[in-house]
Amino acid sequence: MTDTTLYRLVIADDHPLFRGALREAVSGMFARVEFSEAGSFDEVSKLLDAGADVDLILLDLSMPGVRGFSGLMYLRAQYPGVPVVVVSGNDDPAVIRRCMDFGASGFIPKTLDTEGMRAAISTVLKGGIWTPPDVNLDAGTDAETTALLSRLATLTPQQVRVLMMLSEGLLNKQIAYELSVSEATVKAHVSAILQKLGVESRTQAVIAASKIEVGQWPQTASMPN
């Protein structure tokens, strides 16, 4: 191990045992590495908002505070310079393709062995992209979904957060409190979201966002406020 570069990685997963296992697997790759761990999406956001210098985020899709791909969408919009590798137990090819559509630098199935994980992370840190070799990223997506993905990609980071909270059923005043902004600001964000998604109501916006999740994520999972 001749590389003396200091690498800073964030492991975002709500299972402490898996965070520990991933940390153990990755730590042997580098002479110098610092880890930060997050068990919820709020912890990830606070870590990055505090100005942490991060080289790579290893992100679990299903963790408290996010729904479907919303966490990935937010991180790519808010911190476009920080590569994100999704580490997930859901290795359905459609899920992997969707992650790449939303700007992930890689996708690591949780079933991948240690050497495979190390190879994937090394590829991404060198500026590359890594997905399981047996996944066809060029498989077609229906026109309606493609159009929706394009519209979702136009949302600002704050609009993504507001849409996440709308999906959790929060009211404007609750969203305002969580984001430390005025209700008027939240209303402006909601109006912009409706316009960008081409829908007329909050309910339609939530339904539109959920179309990319149906059949892939537990629809009854409770989300913390």
Which range is most confident: 1-10, 194-203, 212-221?
194-203
pLDDT of residue 223: 34
Helix (H, G, I), strand (E, B) or coil at 28: coil
Rounded alpha-carbon distances, angstroms, from residue 12 to 64, 135, 147, 172: 10, 24, 29, 28
Same domain as 33, residue 108: yes
pLDDT at 221 > cutoff 50? no
Among 125, 160, 194, which residue terminates a domain?
Answer: 125
pLDDT tens for residues 79-99?
Answer: 888 999 999 988 888 888 888
Same domain as 148, residue 121: no
Domain at 182, CATH number: 1.10.10.10
Q: What is the mean pLDDT of the chain?
A: 84
In a domain, 170, yes or no: yes
In this structure, is the dihedral angle defined by the CA atoms of residues 81, 72, 13 and 135, taken in order, positive or negative?
negative
The number of C-alpha atoms within 13 Å of 117 and in the hemisphere containing its C-beta is: 19
Distance CA 97, CA 67 (A): 17
Give the mean model confidence (pLDDT) for residues 24-53.
86
pTM above 0.75? Answer: yes
pLDDT at 163 > cutoff 50? yes
pLDDT at 225 > cutoff 50? no
Per-residue pLDDT band for 185 (boundaries 50, 70, 90) equals very high
Among 125, 158, 188, which residue terminates a domain?
Answer: 125
Give the mean model confidence (pLDDT) for residues 50-68.
83
pLDDT of residue 145: 74
In a domain, 65, yes or no: yes
pLDDT of residue 208: 83
In a domain, 221, yes or no: no
Helix (H, G, I), strand (E, B) or coil at 95: helix
Distance CA 42, CA 51 (A): 15
Same domain as 101, residue 37: yes
